[in-house]
Each structure stands twice: as C-alpha cells, then as structure tokens.
Structure 1
Amino acid sequence: MNQAVHNKLVSFIWSIADDCLRDVYVRGKYRDVILPMVVLRRLDALLEPTKDAVLEEMAFQKDEAKFTEWDENGLRQASGYVFYNTSEWTLQRLHDTATNNQQILQANFEDYLKGYSGNVKEIIEKFNLKRQVQHMASKDVLLNVLEKFTSSYINLTPFEKNDPDGRKLPPLSNLGMGYVFEELIRKFNEDNNEEAGEHFTPREVIDLMTHIIFEPIKDKLPPVMTIYDPACGSGGMLTESQNFIKDEDGEIKAKGDVYLYGKEINDETYAICKSDMMIKGNNPENIRVGSTLSTNEFAGTTFDFMLSNPPYGKSWASEQKFIKDGKDIIDPRFKIKLQNYWGIEEEADATPRSSDGQLLFLMEMVNKMKPLSQSKLGSRIASVHNGSSLFTGDAGGGESNIRRYIIENDWLEAIVQMPNNLFYNTGITTYIWILSNNKSNKRKGKVQLIDAGFMFRKLRKNLGNKNCEFAPEHIREIVSVYEKMQAVDRKVDDEQGISSKVFDNTDFGYYKVTIERPKRLKAQFTAERIEELRFDKTLREPMAWAYETYREKVYTEIAKHEKAIIEWCEKNELNLNAKQTKTLVTQATWQKQLDLVTLAMDLMKKIGSKEFNDFNLFKERVDEALAAKKLKLSSSEKNAILNAVSWYDADAEKVVKGTTKLAGDKLKELLAYLGCKEKELGDYGYFATEKKGEYLEYETESNLRDTENVPLKEAIYTYFLREVKPHVGEAWINLDATKIGYEISFNKYFYKHKPLRSIEDVTADILALEKESDGLIAEILGL
C-alpha cells in the first residue's frame, strides 16, 4: 500500500474519532466504533450498486408462493456477493433521510443491520456494533459519525473510484486494511499504555514468503489448491497468497480453484478477515474464530500450502488443559515419538514452555501436511518466528524435541533471517521457516540457512516500529539464492548483502551427555550436627523458630501454638502450602524428629566422636550399632541421620554404591549395551577391583555432575577422552542419562570476528582529540 495514501486514510479515520467521539468515548475506546464502521462501510459500499436488484429479488420471492423463506442463492446472485442486505436502507440513505431525531435514526440503523445475511450478522455481533449504535444515538453523535463514513472523499472499498473533484481515490485492499487496522489500534491504545498485541506481516514479507513457497513448484501446481493460516489475523497472508498465484500479469497463474482456510482468536481481526473473504468471493465459512491451540478446528483436513505469522512470546497457559493432562499429551497434534540414545522409540514432549506457544502453531501446520499418498506435491509451509524457536529449550525439552522432530523427518528446507525493525509492532529479529514433506533430491538431508538481515532499504517515515523494508530486488535475490541452494557470502562490512550456507540435518543435533564424579564423604557424630535432626529439612526455618520460642512445649502442646506459628510464617512470607502447614503443626512431625535426635545421640555414645575419612567404614559402624540395638530404621530415617553427620570432602575416600559381578554372557551384554571394550568400563562407571570379574560402582556427587554437548557427528567416547578425561581423571559417562537435542544458531554460523584496532591507531585518535582539547588529554595522561 502506498505510504502517502495509507497516512492520509489513517488521518481521515482518526479525525472521525477525534471530531465525533471525543467526550463520548475515552480515546482507548474509539476502536469500538471506528473499526466496525470501517468494515461495515466496506461491505455497504459494495452492495449499493445492486440494492435495487436485491429488493426486486425479494419482491419476486414474496410473490412466489412456493417460497416459504428467503432463497439465499437468489439474493446472493442479485447482490453479486456471498452476502446481501434485505432492508431498504444503505448507509447513504440512512444519512440522506436522517433528521435530528436520533431515536428514529437508531431504529432505522438497527433495521438496516437486521437486514444483513447471517454471515455479516456474525461480524456485527463480534464487533458488538448494535450496542455502540445505541450509545452513539443516546449521545447525539450517530448522525455525525454516519456523515463522516459516507463521505465521498474517502474510499474504503477494494475498487478505485473518484471523489467529487475528479481526483482518484485508490482502493483499500485487504492488506491495506490490515495496515490501517494496525495503525489505528496503535493510536487507540497509546494513551492507555497498551500495545496492539499484533505483529502484522508487512506486504513485502508476505511477498517473499509467497515467492519461496510457490515459485519452486509453479509448473506443478495442483488443479485445486488449499491454503491455510492457523493465525490468520485480518487475512492478509491468505488473500495475498491467492492474489500471487492467480495473478494474470505475473509469472504464476493457477489454472484451478484456490480455497482459503484460517482461524483467528481475536474477534475484531476475525471480523475483518471474514468480511474480506466475502468481498473477494471466498467461502467465509472456512474462516473460524477461536483458539487454534485449544480446538483442532480442521481435524482430519490437510492443506497444500500453509503460511502464517503466529504470535510469539505469548502465553498459552490458559490453553494447556486442552493439550496436556499433567505430563500426558492429550491432543494428537502434539503427540510425537522420538528415538532415545539406544534407538528405542518413545513418546516425547512436544510442547514448549507455557510462556511462548509459537512452536505449537508450527506443529499444528505439520500435523496438517498432506501425505504423499494423497498428493504428489505434498505440502509446503512458510512460518514466521522470532529467535526463540531456533534455540530455546534444552535437550529433551519441548522446543528442542519439536526442532528434532521436524529436522529428523527431513521437513525443514531453509530458514531465512530477516532484518530488525521490519515488522510493524516489533523491532526484534525474525525468521521465516520453510518446510516441505516432499523435498527435491538436492535438498534431502540438508538445511539451508540464509542471512538476509542486511538486505533492506530505509523508509522515509516509520510505520510504528517498522523503519525498513525489502525492495523487490532484495526479494528476487533471496529467492534466487534459495532456489539455487547456493552457499554465498556477499555481505560487505556487515552493512549490506546476503549470506547463505548449507548444512547436513545432523549438524544441528547434539548429545547432551551427563558426566559423573564419585561422592567423597567424611563423617563424624557431634552434638551440633545431631541437633539439626530436630528439624525437618524442608521446614527448617519455621521449626527452628518455633523450637527457639516454645522449647520443649512443641513436643507436648504444639496445638496451643498453631495460630502463632502460622501467623509468623505468613508474616515472614514463607508461602507454605496447605500440606506443609499441616505437617508443621502436627505433633507427630515433631516427635519423629525428636526420635531421630535421641537415636543419633545413642549412636554417638556407641561409635564416638571420631572423624571418619572413609564414609563406607563409618556406615558399617552405624549398621553394626543399629543391629546391636536390634533397631530397624526406614531408609529415609537412616539417610536423614547419615546426611546430617556427613559432608563432602575432596580428600575423603569414594563412597561405594555396591559391587557387581561381570563375567561371561553378563559381561558381553554390558559391553554390547555400552558399546565399549572391557578395559574402558571404568569410563562408564564400572571400576575393576583386585578380584577378577568384580567391579565397583560409586555413588555420584550431584553437585559435581556436569554435562557436555557432543555433536551428533562425533563419537561420545572420543569427545570424552579428548575434552573431559585429561582434566577430570575420575569422571565417567552416564550413558543412560544421555539426551539428544537440536538447536540452530545464526550467530554461530554467520558471525565474523572483527579484530580490535591496533594500539597505534587508538593512540593516534587520542592525540588528534588532544589538539581539539587544548592539552587537557595530555595533562590527564601525563604525556
């Protein structure tokens, strides 16, 4: 859309709000009137030329006895669109016949709204327009608003027209409507310190996406095409895609029909999208309202092409209950299976963190790809994301698993990095993901990364955050690099140009390997350490306060002090849950801890206060003492005592977990399982003793546990010997904890190091500045 035309139209519409609605609505509420009136006027202006034909068709149907209700097909044919209005009114007639009696005008306006076909009535309901009409009438501004919107100096239709002075008024396309919508939302909300919440996709970004999606297969387009956008907004992505492939003047012209499908959660943008579908003759029933994530609206349907700019950085916490039941995925769109390190297929988590659901929209599109058994072309996807989708999430996490699922199925063709400040309401870096389940032979097993972050031209005037755009030649070059699958580097001083690199799928994958180290503990019974057993470690702070305050009474009269203890917890903002609170003020809790103190004191009398450098020997002494007293403790009670009187020390002996007999078939099985030789078993946590076939396993020290990210193309053991073993000789690999992750880093692959300037150059600059500062720098530096 021409920027001057855009600015003029926005200013005109804003003047309507400012002239007519001031003092009637707060500025943030102007949108409640202006947006529906813009949409309504677009529809009304289209129906004006055929109004008489529609009324004649109604008269004909009334005269035909066989018609017991309106024949919608006849009315649509008469109107020339998939919508119609059976009332005698148009907005122009409402204005021309109006008097100063706002009540009569309101009644006529409501009669006009009732005359619309059901598909338009839904739009009116989404905008809650009837209530706004009533409010404007009660404030005596309805006629003024009507006068503005029926002005012959404004063109809200998708067709060119002339104003009364003979000047051409450019058409307002769906994309232009989207731009106007975004700008109006921004202006309406700026006084309320709110944001539009939309990231409207600029025309040139859609142009790039449509070129990349359709051009490579322009000679193979199916006779009937379906296009889907799961976050369709005002519909620009859909209608521009349709325009692109049906363009009679361009290189691509589809011979068959194009059917558009979309879903949108925002009522306002949904209404705008649906109205435009009706204007263009598309089936408005294919546009649905509601959350894409919470409802699988088009379940069982697959699409040839999918283009979308889903919301990013937006929470999907309110939709979690429709997707997950605890840890279980209940929505089949987000159920995936991946192989673990051992090659065993398992169900994997395919949901990102609840604060950002953009990858769920990508999974929605992947779920609706056409299998090659249905279409030789398969499906092609273009989806806009921010950087989070590339690298957020650890190995085994939802985001990483989604990337892995897409890449390992060989659906990811390319990712294009775009410039900052390219979008209307955000300045962040954005990326276009291009997916296909029918890659060409040269792309199989490969992913192309294109850095087009420096391909732009500046705008003369910003549109919101948007201060730059792709020029046609930029789009042509990006598409050319993509189609040729070129590895190029045309960047000049990081200021202009394009770079592209081609990678194997596995280049983005890595093993997250857990490296263990043995636990080394010293142990000693002391009164001070035993005293810690008086308090449950999860409730130490409140229990310590209560004991210090009430002393021995906590063991006999805890119920009397319950209220005071709970008040103290609330005052100190401990945020205990109901279960913790109940445990804290229960007599059994205190008695259990006191019993542990008593038992530990008895053990100290038996074993003494000697410091043990070997925890294994200390544990034996404790077991002997317990056996002598004929006491059987639960493992949790015994561990509580041992943990209270032991601590990590690098000079202590290793803590033995147990011994394992490995010989014959058992040894062969383990070696095959680990994929190692017998002499390498120590590097996997099995340490040979002096007895043949006997191996020690040590307890692990969680505080010293580490992880290493090993590229998929490198053997884990080779990496371990090179990067870990020389530095931590007693470490070993825990293969059972190994996870596979995928991430994509443009900085890693395209960053160019710039060496620092030489000291001579810096000194020369300082001395040059010195001449401009009358010797001040020389005085400071002592030169």
Structure 2
Amino acid sequence: MKLSRNIDVKANMIWNIADTLRDVYKRHQYGSVILPFVVIKRFDAVLQDTKEKVYETYKQVKDFDDHKVLLKRASGHGFYNCSRYTLGLILSDADNIESNFNDYVNGFSEEVQDILSNFEMHKLIEKLASNNLLYNVLQEVNKVDLHPETVSNIEMGYIFEETIRRFSEAQNEEAGEHYTPREVIELMVNILFTDEDLSKTTEAITKTIYDPACGTGGMLTVAEKHLRKQNSSYNLISYGQEINSETYAICKADILIKGEDADFIRHGNTLSNDRFKGYNFDYIISNPPFGKDWKSDQKKVKEEEKLGAAGRFHMGLPSVSDGQMLFLQTAVAKMKDKNKGGSRVAIIHNGSPLFTGDAESGPSKIRQYIIENDMLDTIIALPNDIFYNTGIATYLWVLSNKKPAHRKGKVQLINANDMFEKMRKSLGKKNKEITPKQIEYISKIYGEFKPGEFEYNGNIIESKIFDNQDFGYLKVTVERPLKDKKGELILKRGKKQPDSNLRDTENIPLKEDVKEYMEREVLPYAPDAWIDKKKTKVGYEIPFTRYFYKYIPPRKSDDIFSEIKELEDKELQLMKELFGNG
C-alpha cells in the first residue's frame, strides 16, 4: 500500500503542474511540456549526492580523451551533468533563469542529451521563457521530491509510467497513435508468458524482449513487471525501436530512469532502418500501426526482400497501403532458432492480415509461411471499441516456434469479443475495457487449449481448435469448352478449347480431395467442366468471423404482425385519452 500511495501522490503532484500551462498550451500538449521536466528533475535528484565531485572532476579532466568515462565514474551512474548548476541554484537567480537553465541542460551527458533533443528541449525552454512560464514550471517541478532515498528506481518507473498514462488518456483520440490501453497489454503479457514455467528456478536468468514499434515503452514495462512478479530472479532486458521522436524520448527516459541500459532503445523507422540487425529475442511484443502505408519505405523494403532468408521480408509483401504485415515479418525474423530455445510473439492486428490478398499474393504467402512452419499458435478476437483511436475489430496473434507437444500442428482461435465491461466515461473511441478477472479468464481458456463455448459472468467466450491445414486451400481454375453457334465443340489439334467467358474459379480446402470436390460441387451443374492444373494456386486465409458465425433465424411474420397490431391498439388508446371518443 505504501508503494502505490507514494506513486499516486507523486503522480498527482506532477499532474497538477499542468495548471501553470493553461493559458499558453492546449490540454493535449501538457504531457509534451511536463514529461521532459520530470525527466530532468529525476536526473537532478539522482545526481545530487555526487554533484560537487562531478563538477570538480570535470574542471580537471574536461580536455582528456576519456573524460566521459571519468565523469560517469565520478557520478556513480551511467550519465552525468557537468554544469555548475542544479535546479535549486537556477531558481535562486530568477533574472537569469533562461540562460542558466540552458547551461544546465547542455551539461548533461550524451545519453540524456539524446533524450532531451528528441523532446526539442531548447525550443520548449524558449517558448516557456517568452511566455514568462519557465520559472513557474521549474518551481513546481522542483517541489516534487524524486530523490532516490524517497523514490526508488522501481517506484520512479511506476510514477513515470502513471504520468505517461494520464497524459496519454487526456489526449483521447491522439493517444492511440502511440499508447495501447493498459488492459490490452496486460492480456498480451499474460498470454505471452502462459506456457513459461517461471517458478521452478531460483537461479538468475536473463531473458530478452523486443518491441519494433515501442511507442512510450508501455509493453516492455508491463512485461518486465509481470516477469519480476512471477520470479524475481528473472532479469528481462528490454529492446525497442520507435519512429516518433517524442515517444522515443519518453521510452528511453523511462529505461534510464529505472537504471537500465538505455542504449537498447533506438530511434528510427523499423521498416526501412532496422536498428537491431542480427539480433534475436526470447519474446517479441508489439502493437504496430494499422492501415498505415509504407510508400516512403518501398525502396528499402524491396531491397531487403531480394536478400531472401537473409532479410526480413522474404515471405512476401503486403499491399503498399498497409504495412502491418511487415511488422509481423519483422517479429518472425527476430525469433530465436528453436534449437537455441525458440521464441514467443504477441502482436496486435486489425482484421485485414487474416484474409486480405488472393492465393499466392504477398499476404497469403506470409500466412502460408507462418502456418506451414507451425508458428501460428493462437488468434484472439478482442472486443471492439477498446482502443483510443479506433472502434474496429482487433486481434491478438500469438506465435511460437517452441509449441508444447499438444499444440504442435494446431491453431487455437478464441472469440473474446464479448469479454468486456462498458466504461462510465469514454476516452476518445474507447468505451469498453477488459477487467482483470476477464483477462485472467481469457488466459485460462488459452492455457487449457480446449474447444467449447464458455460463460463467464454473463459474457460468452468461445474456443475452437484447428489443424494447420484447415486454413489452406487450392484456388483452381475451372474451364468449360468453347462451342460454335450450333453448340458443337471447337477443337484445336484435337483438343477442347476453353471458353474464357465461362471460366470460373473454385477454392478447394487442402484437406479435400479435388476429384471428389469436383464430382460433388461442379460436375452435377457443368458435366463438361475440367480443371486447368497449370493455373492452380495455393492460398491461406483465416476466416475468423465465418468460423464463429451464429445463424439467427428471422422472426415469424405472425409474431411481427401481432406486435404491430398491439402497437396500433396502444396508439389508438392514447389518442382516445387525449382527444376523447370523438
């Protein structure tokens, strides 16, 4: 209780700093202003005890080639500040607040400079100073005691995370660009670690986790928290790449604040500039953007496609209008070889990666590769309206190349669309949430790996188990013979010629015998039809909605008529009461 109360008190103090910004900044901009100052305040507090030592060391070694190493050693941390100022000293000289604060900011080591430059700190300082707000903001931030003796690294991580969450939710729709609702992450992490036995060993074990579109780092943070809660001997090293400068800065700051290696959070476009080439990870978790085009990345992506298995995109390329399956391939490429322990993946997609693309198109080939290599473990349909910026259907894909024996060659589909509770107040388009108990129950259905329809507190969840082959089909071209006006066959070198106007295609499930299918579905209606085997293609799709469709018969006409008659009678009675029998 003490831990959560401390977090809440500090987060409230930080949140209230927004009151100083109201006349100059809009509500959705508050986080962009305040978060960098929180980062600076924490670093100021962490470096406080060795401040004098670092400044004296700096004066002695500033011209040495290895001065950075010596200054880090003097600070006792992986970063330092060699300015003579502290926040307290800056506030004691209100007349020179801007120049002194700039001097202080410039004194940070390059790890922190990278974060602050992505926050565009100097522009921020200039705007605050020109509106006479810099002193007020610094004064309010400095009131929040973030010294390590008061706030541990773990607590500070929670405070920063809670502050990010509040500002992100305050942005409503805009939050969806880089913020995944907490309960969705909790579910992903629960599922990701379900098959892992985390309780057996007390030996120190190091695992790695990677997010190719890490945003503010929420998924990495929750995953680390979950593992430590299950077994404190586990050390989870977080790796992430983020294209947005500000969210990258927030994520890197969070990692540095917690005393971890911030070098593993990297800035850049994952699709065109993979900052983790040659890396493989134990776990991959992500919520990449839906429906975002990759036109500007085409050249680099196609160059990597040509590398074949040495690159990420050898399975196939999706439509240029939607890059989410490129992130899916990135996740697959980052999995460890199963002979080296294998990996598990949890990644969010909308509906299009399930079925988009014809047989042998890029998306179909991607599905084919993943399914035929027995990597697709589970797909879970999530409730609609649980994300901030979209109400569309979303799905959690779970991949694994180390399936337990009972899951090998199988895919579990779970329809959890009904597992939600309505929120009292909407946040952007988010008006539903998955409760902790519902997360637990969905995870239970996943873990038990049984088909069936289950009820939980009035909410229905359904699980179905399929063979890998159930998702594959042959797209066959069915030809009919070309005839003349008299109805006689037109032959060429004694062979029937196909009539292109009568040409048709059939999708035949891989499990079906093609001959039997033709005899049952085609030949009774077109006895002269045949298959052109040269045109046969293999396709893969996951028609999730069709698998869980439930037919609801229309109401009987007599029932509808009776209801209409009842309404007419009520209307007549009301008219009599209003106007009398006349």
Which of 287, 308, 313 is matched with 2:265 structurally?
287
Tell me the equivalent position of 2:332. Answer: 366
**Residues 457 and 471, structure 1, Cα contact 8 Å, conserved in 2:** yes
Q: Which residue identity is paired with 2:375? A: W
Which of 282, 288, 291 is matched with 1:310 structurally?
288
- The aligned runs of 1:303-342 (5 Å cut-off) are 303-324=281-302, 332-336=310-314
**Residues 36 and 119, structure 2, Cα contact 8 Å, conserved in 1:** no
Q: Distance in 2 between matches of 1:390 and 1:158?
A: 48
Tell me the equivalent position of 2:55. Answer: 58
Q: Distance in 2 between matches of 1:132 and 1:93?
A: 20
- Residue by residue over 1:577-624, the C-alpha shift from the partner in whole angstroms, topping out at 9 and shown as x without a partner, is xxxxxxxxxxxxxxxxxxxxxxxxxxxxxxxxxxxx5xxxxxxxxxxx
- The aligned runs of 1:342-381 (5 Å cut-off) are 350-375=316-341, 378-381=342-345
Tell me the equivalent position of 1:17. Answer: 21
Tell me the equivalent position of 1:296. Answer: 274
Q: Distance in 2 between matches of 1:177 and 1:392?
A: 39
- Residue by residue over 1:90-140, the C-alpha shift from the partner in whole angstroms, topping out at 9 and shown as x without a partner, is 3444334313xxxx3221121011111101111121122212322433444
Report the 3-state secondary structure (helix = DSSP H, G, I; strand = E; otherwise coil) of the residue aligned with 1:110: helix
Report the 3-state secondary structure (helix = DSSP H, G, I; strand = E; otherwise coil) of the residue aligned with 2:42: helix
Report the 3-state secondary structure (helix = DSSP H, G, I; strand = E; otherwise coil) of the residue aligned with 1:513: strand
Tell me the equivalent position of 1:122. Answer: 114
Q: Distance in 1 between matches of 2:566 and 2:15?
A: 50
Q: How many angstroms does 1:497 deviate by? A: 2.2
Which of 420, 423, 429 is matched with 2:393 structurally?
429
Tell me the equivalent position of 2:85. Answer: 89
Which of 436, 451, 457 is matched with 1:487 structurally?
451
Tell me the equivalent position of 1:208. Answer: 187
Q: Distance in 1 between matches of 2:467 and 2:149?
A: 49
**Residues 31 and 168, structure 2, Cα contact 8 Å, conserved in 1:** no
Residue 509 of structure 2 corresponds to residue 711 of structure 1? yes
Tell me the equivalent position of 1:131. Answer: 123
Q: Which residue identity is paired with 2:116? A: I
Tell me the equivalent position of 2:533. Answer: 735
Residue 220 of structure 2 corresponds to residue 242 of structure 1? no
Task: Classify 1:34/1:329 alpha carbon distance in 2 versus 1 (closer, same or farther; 3 Å).
Answer: same
**Residues 199 and 424, structure 1, Cα contact 8 Å, conserved in 2:** no
Q: How many angstroms does 1:85 deviate by? A: 2.0
Report the 3-state secondary structure (helix = DSSP H, G, I; strand = E; otherwise coil) of the residue aligned with 2:379: strand
Q: Which residue identity is paired with 1:204? A: E
Q: Distance in 1 between matches of 2:344 and 2:147?
A: 32
- The aligned runs of 1:567-582 (5 Å cut-off) are none
**Residues 380 and 437, structure 1, Cα contact 8 Å, conserved in 2:** yes
Task: Classify 1:182/1:239 alpha carbon distance in 2 versus 1 (closer, same or farther; 3 Å).
Answer: same
**Residues 175 and 240, structure 1, Cα contact 8 Å, conserved in 2:** no
Q: How many angstroms does 1:652 deviate by? A: 5.8
Tell me the equivalent position of 1:585. Answer: none
Task: Classify 1:111/1:10 alpha carbon distance in 2 versus 1 (closer, same or farther; 3 Å).
Answer: closer
Which of 470, 483, 488 is matched with 2:434 structurally?
470
Q: How many angstroms does 1:5 deviate by? A: 8.8
Q: How many angstroms does 1:281 deviate by? A: 1.6
- Say which is worse superposed, 503-512 or 321-330, in terms of deviation: 321-330
TM-score computed with the length of structure 2 as normaliser? 0.88
Tell me the equivalent position of 1:228. Answer: 210
TM-score computed with the length of structure 1 as normaliser? 0.66
Report the 3-state secondary structure (helix = DSSP H, G, I; strand = E; otherwise coil) of the residue aligned with 1:427: coil
Which of 752, 763, 780 is matched with 2:550 structurally?
752
Q: Distance in 1 between matches of 2:127 and 2:496?
A: 79
Report the 3-state secondary structure (helix = DSSP H, G, I; strand = E; otherwise coil) of the residue aligned with 1:710: strand
Task: Classify 1:109/1:520 alpha carbon distance in 2 versus 1 (closer, same or farther; 3 Å).
Answer: farther
Q: Distance in 1 between matches of 2:74 and 2:183?
A: 35
Q: How many angstroms does 1:43 deviate by? A: 3.5
Task: Classify 1:92/1:705 alpha carbon distance in 2 versus 1 (closer, same or farther; 3 Å).
Answer: farther
- Say which is worse superposed, 388-397 or 228-237, in terms of deviation: 388-397
Q: Distance in 2 between matches of 1:259 and 1:300?
A: 17
Which of 244, 260, 267 is matched with 1:266 structurally?
244
Larger-Rg structure: 1
Tell me the equivalent position of 1:531. Answer: none
Tell me the equivalent position of 1:723. Answer: 521
Tell me the equivalent position of 2:38. Answer: 41
- Residue by residue over 1:215-250, the C-alpha shift from the partner in whole angstroms, topping out at 9 and shown as x without a partner, is 321247882211101110100111111111012xxx
Q: Distance in 2 between matches of 1:759 and 1:156?
A: 70
- Residue by residue over 1:160-187, the C-alpha shift from the partner in whole angstroms, topping out at 9 and shown as x without a partner, is 87xxxxxxx998545424423423544x
Q: Distance in 1 between matches of 2:500 and 2:126?
A: 68
Task: Classify 1:434/1:313 alpha carbon distance in 2 versus 1 (closer, same or farther; 3 Å).
Answer: same
Residue 431 of structure 2 corresponds to residue 439 of structure 1? no
Q: How many angstroms does 1:77 deviate by? A: 6.5
**Residues 157 and 173, structure 1, Cα contact 8 Å, conserved in 2:** no
Tell me the equivalent position of 2:358. Answer: 394
Which of 463, 469, 479 is matched with 1:500 structurally?
463
Q: How many angstroms does 1:750 deviate by? A: 1.4
Q: Distance in 2 between matches of 1:710 and 1:653?
A: 30
Q: Which residue identity is paired with 2:20? A: I
Q: How many angstroms does 1:358 deviate by? A: 0.7
Q: How many angstroms does 1:206 deviate by? A: 1.5
Q: Which residue identity is paired with 1:373? A: N
**Residues 6 and 176, structure 1, Cα contact 8 Å, conserved in 2:** no
- Say which is worse superposed, 4-13 or 757-766, in terms of deviation: 4-13
Q: How many angstroms does 1:41 deviate by? A: 1.9
**Residues 472 and 538, structure 2, Cα contact 8 Å, conserved in 1:** yes
- Residue by residue over 1:670-714, the C-alpha shift from the partner in whole angstroms, topping out at 9 and shown as x without a partner, is xxxxxxxxxxxxxxxxxxxxxxxxx4141x333432111111100
**Residues 333 and 363, structure 1, Cα contact 8 Å, conserved in 2:** no
Report the 3-state secondary structure (helix = DSSP H, G, I; strand = E; otherwise coil) of the residue aligned with 2:365: helix
Q: Which runs of 5+ in 2 are unaligned?
A: 576-582
Q: How many angstroms does 1:278 deviate by? A: 0.2
Q: How many angstroms does 1:766 deviate by? A: 1.7
Q: How many angstroms does 1:426 deviate by? A: 1.8
Q: Which residue identity is paired with 1:411? A: M
**Residues 82 and 108, structure 2, Cα contact 8 Å, conserved in 1:** yes
Q: Distance in 2 between matches of 1:150 and 1:15?
A: 15
- The aligned runs of 1:92-241 (5 Å cut-off) are 92-99=88-95, 104-152=96-144, 173-186=159-172, 195=174, 198=177, 200-219=179-198, 223-241=205-223
Q: Distance in 2 between matches of 1:65 and 1:265?
A: 34
Report the 3-state secondary structure (helix = DSSP H, G, I; strand = E; otherwise coil) of the residue aligned with 1:373: helix
Tell me the equivalent position of 2:578. Answer: none
Q: Which residue identity is paired with 1:502? A: I
Task: Classify 1:468/1:142 alpha carbon distance in 2 versus 1 (closer, same or farther; 3 Å).
Answer: same
**Residues 36 and 124, structure 1, Cα contact 8 Å, conserved in 2:** no
Q: How many angstroms does 1:10 deviate by? A: 9.2
- Tell me the C-alpha RMSD between the 2 structures: 3.3
**Residues 17 and 34, structure 2, Cα contact 8 Å, conserved in 1:** no
**Residues 509 and 741, structure 1, Cα contact 8 Å, conserved in 2:** yes
Q: Which residue identity is paired with 2:300? A: F
Q: How many angstroms does 1:78 deviate by? A: 3.1
Tell me the equivalent position of 1:406. Answer: 370
Residue 539 of structure 2 corresponds to residue 769 of structure 1? no
Task: Classify 1:57/1:9 alpha carbon distance in 2 versus 1 (closer, same or farther; 3 Å).
Answer: closer
**Residues 451 and 750, structure 1, Cα contact 8 Å, conserved in 2:** yes
- Residue by residue over 1:277-317, the C-alpha shift from the partner in whole angstroms, topping out at 9 and shown as x without a partner, is 10112211111111111123212211111111111111111
Report the 3-state secondary structure (helix = DSSP H, G, I; strand = E; otherwise coil) of the residue aligned with 2:533: strand
Tell me the equivalent position of 2:495. Answer: 696
Q: Which residue identity is paired with 1:201? A: T
Q: Distance in 2 between matches of 1:470 and 1:724?
A: 47
